[in-house]
Structure 1
Amino acid sequence: MPPPIPSGNEFEIIIIDDGSPDGTQEIAQQLIKIYGSDKILLRPRAKKLGLGTAYIHGMKHATGNFIIIMDADLSHHPKFIPKFIRTQKESNFDIVSGTRYKGNGGVHGWDLKRKLISRGANFLTQVLLRPGASDLTGSFRLYRKEVLQKLMEKCVSKGYVFQMEMIVRARQLGYSIGEVPISFVDRVYGESKLGGNEIVSFLKGLLTLFATT
């Protein structure tokens, strides 16, 4: 069902699917029949074209002033959305970012090795980039639409580093960032791969950001 949006807020749910074989589009079509095409917008693409281009594709179809980006596999639970909205309104933030590393935030479903890698990566980013935000690699965030558009024009990174650069560039441009503690739950179906290639790519991207920001 659509996420619990506080009353008085108009919303639309835009689903970007890059040809995934997990039945996302079929489920989206069922939701459209139930809630209507004005609330559920399915905007598929033929193949994987990258996270950044998915953001741009989604923005083209967004009609609101604010955009919340989250994973559709419920790794990001929609129950946190009302807190994102309240936090933005209370302090008029440009960005509200979900954090696994603050307050009662956390991660469920990862083994000890994955947790240590994640904590170590986050520690390195804090030391080298000093971003003023506690979780740089998460993607559960609320943006003002015009802020997201500006950041997309500035960011050049790919993969895990893309999310980091979004926050670093936001600080450079003087945008305000609030945080909401969230619980991240690893996907039940499919795999979340984090191998040697991903780690090397992350370190290269981190050093590039350190040298250029």
Structure 2
Amino acid sequence: MLLYFLQLIGLLVAGYALGKVINLVTLITKEFTEPIVCTLEDPDSTAPVPCPSIFDAPTKALSCIVPAYNEEDRLSSTLDEALAYLQRRRDRQGPQFTYEVIIVDDGSTDGTARVAQGYVRRYGLDTVRLLRVSSNRGKGHAVKRGMLVSRGEYCLLMDADGATRFADLEKLEAGLERVMQPGFSRSPRPSPSAAPTTATSPSSASSGGPSQQGPLGVAYGSRAHLHKDAIVKRSRLRNFLTRGFHVLVYLVAGGRVRDTQCGFKLFTRRSAAILFSNQRLQRWCFDVELLYLAEQLGIPVTEVFVNWTEIPGSKIRFTSIILMALELAVLKIAYQVMGSWAIHSEVMLAKKAT
């Protein structure tokens, strides 16, 4: 009798959890098709700033996307380091090395926007841009929206906390150079119940937008080489939860990247256009979704070790790991079980963008 009762309780709990996951899939799907308002802002003008599209031809060598939510205290040091490096590199390489830094204010309630506006005034709207999200949606959403208005031939994701040394960009570039390829290595795998979609070949891509005329590749910055030191410093519970999260990542996206969550990643423009236009997750696990999408599309990914320092003020909590696990369940169910999230080809995405 007790065993029967426990089984019944287990089924009820499993049903409740599955219902929550399905509701979350539905909500994320709606937010994917009905995105909220984001605006590029000129602090010295009330006139709207036109938003470029990642499907346009690049007009910069590099775009640096900085998602920021309540980062008033940490943003300045990160931007100072990044902009000083970029200026030194421009002095070294010449005027052909052009760049932009896009700060995406994810509905902050502190002075993040004010700090960003100061940098826009100091460096000019063409070099530093502030993209305002009308309400907080999460890091994944902020990164996506910043990438979709970027103008760079290469697009860098960098966290606002400055935990990674910015000069390690050159390590990412070297790693990306080793794996880049001109076209897809295979067609995407269709979802079980979704209409098949095919990635465009280099020849068919010529009929689409300019962003489809470029190499494919992604470099994930990684702290995996610091794993042993991190284990010593963390509590047993934190280590247990972290290991559990890595197991879930392996089940969803495979094991070719050991550290998916480091906030330092470099994309070719064409890869960024395809991956971020398909991205749906808006908070913690968008990095894993990007890896999953790259695997399905045959976009090459490399893992590059970078220098990393833990910065006070981290927003990751024990509960965050639980929420990340929930997002991974959503990812698995929506793409592979329900088949409700289709992976769109780049020609289809380019037409949608216009």
Calculate the TM-score normalised by the size of structure 1. 0.80
1:159 partner SS: coil
Out of 277, 288, 291, the residue aligned to residue 164 of structure 1 is 288
Match of 1:84 in 2: 172
Q: Which moved more, 1:46-55 or 1:163-172?
A: 46-55
Matched, 1:198 2:323: yes
Say if 1:94 and 1:143, in contact at 8 Å, map to a contact too. yes
The CA distance in 1 between the partners of 2:313 and 2:110, in whole Å, is 9
Residue number in structure 1 paired with 2:238? 114
Residues 153 and 203 (structure 1), Cα distance of their counterparts in 2 relative to 1, 3 Å cut: closer
Q: Rate the CA distance shift 1:164–1:19 in 2: closer, same or farther, 3 A.
A: same
CA RMSD, 1 decimal:
3.2
Cα offset, 1:175, TM superposition: 0.7
Per the alignment, do residues 181 and 107 of structure 1 end up closer, same or farther by CA in structure 2, a change over 3 Å counting? farther
Q: Which residue of 2 aligns with 1:208?
A: 333
Cα deviation per residue 1:95-152 (whole Å; 9 max; x = unaligned)? 00011214789759x7323344223311332255424222223342111122122112
Q: Deviations over 1:154-213 (max 9, x none)?
A: 333343332111101101111111221134444423643331751551452364378459
Q: Is the 8 A contact 2:179 2:217 kept in 1?
A: no
In 2, are the aligned partners of 1:65 and 1:144 still within 8 Å (CA)? yes
Q: Partner of 1:166: helix, strand, or coil?
A: helix
Q: Distance in 2 between matches of 1:120 and 1:172?
A: 24
Q: What is the match of residue 47 of structure 1? A: 135
For 1:42 and 1:105, the matched residues in 2 are separated by 38
AA in 1 matched with 2:217: D
Tell me the residue number matched to 2:219.
96
Residue in 1 that maps onto 2:26 = none
Identity %, equivalent residues: 22
Distance, in Å, in 2 between the alignment partners of 1:27 and 1:107 is 32
Structure 1 stretches lacking a partner, 5+ long: none
Name the count of aligned residue pairs: 213
1:81 alignment partner, SS class:
helix
Look up the SS of the partner of 1:16 in the other structure: strand
Q: Which residue of 2 aligns with 1:65?
A: 153
1:122-161 paired onto structure 2 within 5 Å = 122-127=246-251, 129-161=253-285
Distance 1:194 1:145, change over 3 A: farther
Is structure 2 residue 299 aligned with structure 1 residue 175? yes
The 1:23/1:188 distance shift into structure 2, 3 A limit, reads farther
RCO greater where, 1 or 2, for CA within 8 Å and sep 6 or more? 1
Q: Which of 5, 20, 29 is the aligned partner of 2:117?
A: 29
Contact 1:94 1:147 survives alignment (8 Å): yes
Amino acid at match of 1:130: G
3-state SS, counterpart of residue 135 of structure 1: coil
With over 3 angstroms needed to count, the CA separation of the structure-2 counterparts of 1:127 and 1:148, relative to structure 1, is same
- TM-score, normalised to structure 2, is 0.51
Query: Is the partner of 1:152 in helix, strand or coil?
Result: helix
Which residue identity does 2:224 align to in structure 1?
Y
Paired amino acid for 1:13: V
Distance 1:36 1:105, change over 3 A: farther
Asked if 1 retains the 8 angstrom alpha-carbon contact of 2:217 and 2:299, the reply is: yes
What residue number does 2:57 align with? none
Contiguous gaps of at least 5 residues in structure 2: 1-79, 181-215, 340-354
Residues 32 and 40 of structure 1 are in contact (CA less than 8 Å); yes or no, is this contact kept in structure 2? yes
Farther-moved stretch of structure 1 (136-145 vs 99-108)? 99-108
